[in-house]
């Protein structure tokens, strides 16, 4: 029923077919992408995940002096458009 004769290894009546080249290459490529992503996230979030620092530490210098600059002022725009 499965088709494909001769291309495989038979052990105790079970035939395991060899993968095609594109399956092997695609699998290795996706494996590489997975490991690059894991190492990238470990570099970015490793100390937080391991409990060496808190996620909110290290941003003190960025927030001093302009706490409200990044907030979007939407109400004056809405009031202006309504009139």
What's the confidence (pLDDT) of residue 50? 82
Give the Cβ contact number of residue 54 at 10 Å.
Answer: 9
Strand pairing partners for 8?
A: 17
What's the confidence (pLDDT) of residue 30? 98
Q: Are 7 and 18 in contact (CB under 8 A)?
A: yes
Which tens digits make up the pLDDT trace of 25-63? 999 999 999 999 999 998 888 888 888 888 787 655 555
Mean pLDDT throughout 1-11? Answer: 68
Q: pTM score > 0.85 for this model?
A: no
What's the confidence (pLDDT) of residue 59? 59
What's the confidence (pLDDT) of residue 73? 59
* Spatial distance between the Cα atoms of 39 and 54, rounded to a whole number of angstroms: 20
Q: What is the CA radius of gyration of the chain?
A: 28
At residue 64, does pLDDT exceed 60?
Answer: no
What's the confidence (pLDDT) of residue 8? 84
């Amino acid at each position: 029923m499965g088709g494909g004769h001769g291309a495989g290894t038979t052990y105790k009546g079970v035939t395991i077919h060899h993968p095609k080249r594109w399956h092997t290459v695609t699998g290795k490529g996706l494996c590489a992408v997975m490991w690059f992503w894991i190492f990238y996230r470990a570099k970015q979030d490793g100390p937080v995940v391991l409990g060496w620092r808190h996620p909110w530490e290290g941003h003190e210098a960025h927030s001093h002096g302009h706490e409200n600059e990044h907030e979007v002022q939407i109400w004056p725009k809405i009031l202006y458009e309504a009139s």
